[in-house]
Amino acid sequence: MLNFYPGPSKVYPEVRTYLVDAYDEGILSTPHRGEQFVQVSRAVVGSIKRKLNIPQDYYIFFTSSATECWEILIQSLTKHKSYHIYNGSFGQKWFEYAKKLRPAAEGLQFDFNEPMPVSELQISADTELICFTQNETSNGTQVSPTTILNLHNRFRDTLIAVDATSSMAGLNLKLIKADIWFASVQKCFGLPPGLAVIACSPRSIFRAKKMAERNHYNSLVPIYEKMLNYQTTHTPNELNIYLLKRMLEDRPFIKGIDQHLTDRAQDLYTFFEQFDDFKPLVENEEVRSKTVITLAGNDKLIEDAKKRALHHNIRLGNGYGPWARTTFRIANFPAIEDEEYEELKRFFLHYYA
């Protein structure tokens, strides 16, 4: 099965070997307070900073999912409100969840064919956290590095948190331009679901310690304190942390991965330009995602393409949210090999050219 679903997506084929090694090395039953886990945790922190170009003074933590990160950040970094800028379903869900914890939370929805309107944002001085999704998996859009830089320059005194679930470990993100970045590992990391990574700047930890919120098992201050010794507040997903260690050791630096995905994304967009029935959902090339290619068409034809592809052992990603019936999505993640995309192209040329 060729799997182009944008998460959980294809895992690196080496994961099979890593799993056997994990069993043989006793990782599946090692105490999470023991030295073996501490060594794995320490190695992951070092590798992820080095391979993903994360500033050395940022702190790395493990959670169960990106959705859990939404909760952690709202409960541990805001007393009153956050401000959410979104153009798709996942950014909107983060905003809606924030309002359950902090009813005063505010949000702005912008058109998915337009860049984030940084110059027009009216964010009040009492806003404690600005939140947005760098790569919106639901519709295949992205917030560009230039836009993130402009946001950083305009609101320097406010913490900025970024959901990078479908771009971290695939794109060379400039983490220094925001305070918190997080992602689940079932997308560009090429690993099974059940683990997320969150990177926090020194000033975000300073804010967390000043708030001193300790009411939950996943409150940020206890997480920070435990990770000073490379441990977690709870029994973690030790297997996936080990898989993350092995994957990072075997992967090239993020700059090379970014270039490969950027070139491949452009090739895919160019390829689908020849079809009359399938067009990119996002017309503005400036805001098109490099890691989630979303193609739109007649709902019956979209359903036909997905079913026909599945019959040929090709799994396309369903549409999501408002675009559930009129789009399909193609993951452009590092674990998927170039030849698999060539096979995908041959399929579409055979049936729809």
| Pairing between β-strand 2-3 and β-strand 59-63 as defined by DSSP bridges | unpaired
**Rounded Cα–Cα distance for residues 346 and 339 (Å):** 11
Please, which residues have CB within 8 angstroms of residue 36's CB and are 6 or more apart in sequence? 26, 27, 30
Evaluate whether 214 touches 221 at the Cβ level (below 8 Å). Answer: yes
**DSSP collapsed to 3 states, 23-88:** HHCCHHHCCCCCHHHHHHHHHHHHHHHHHCCCCCCCEEEEECCHHHHHHHHHHHHCCCCEEEEECC
Residue 263 has pLDDT above 90, yes or no: yes
**Given this model, what pLDDT does residue 350 score?**
96
Closest CA to 85 of 120, 58, 50: 120
pLDDT, tens digit, 9 for 90 and up, residues 126-179: 999 999 999 999 999 999 999 999 999 999 999 999 999 999 999 999 999 999
**Given the structure tokens 């900025």, which residue do they identify?**
160
**Rounded Cα–Cα distance for residues 221 and 226 (Å):** 9
Average pLDDT, the chain: 97
Phi, psi (rounded to 5 degrees) for 264: -70, -35
**258 CB neighbour count, 10 Å cutoff:** 19
* CATH number for the domain formed by residue range(s) 13-250: 3.40.640.10
For the chain, the structural domain boundaries read: 2-8+253-352, 13-250
Percent of the chain with pLDDT over 70: 100
Evaluate whether 333 touches 291 at the Cβ level (below 8 Å). Answer: yes
**Given this model, what pLDDT does residue 19 score?**
98
**Rounded Cα–Cα distance for residues 156 and 177 (Å):** 10
pLDDT, tens digit, 9 for 90 and up, residues 280-317: 999 999 999 999 999 999 999 999 999 999 999 999 99
**Given this model, what pLDDT does residue 51 score?**
98
Q: Which amino acid is at 40?
A: V
Residue 257 has pLDDT above 90, yes or no: yes
pLDDT, tens digit, 9 for 90 and up, residues 51-84: 999 999 999 999 999 999 999 999 999 999 999 9
Architecture of the CATH domain 2-8+253-352: Alpha-Beta Complex (3.90)
Q: How far is CA 178 from CA 91, 175, 181, in A?
A: 17, 6, 7
End-to-end CA distance of the chain: 23
Please, which residues have CB within 8 angstroms of residue 23's CB and are 6 or more apart in sequence? none
Closest CA to 160 of 203, 197, 193: 203
Please, which residues have CB within 8 angstroms of residue 94's CB and are 6 or more apart in sequence? 70, 84, 86, 131, 133, 163
| Pairing between β-strand 129-133 and β-strand 82-86 as defined by DSSP bridges | parallel
**170 CB neighbour count, 10 Å cutoff:** 30
**Given this model, what pLDDT does residue 353 score?**
87
What's the predicted TM-score (pTM) here?
0.97
Q: Encode 131-144: b = buried (16+ Cβ within 10 Å), e = exposed.
A: bbbbbbbbbbbbbe
Stretch 75-104: mean pLDDT = 98
Q: Which of the four pLDDT bands, split at 50, 70 and 90, describes residue 231?
A: very high
**Given this model, what pLDDT does residue 111 score?**
98
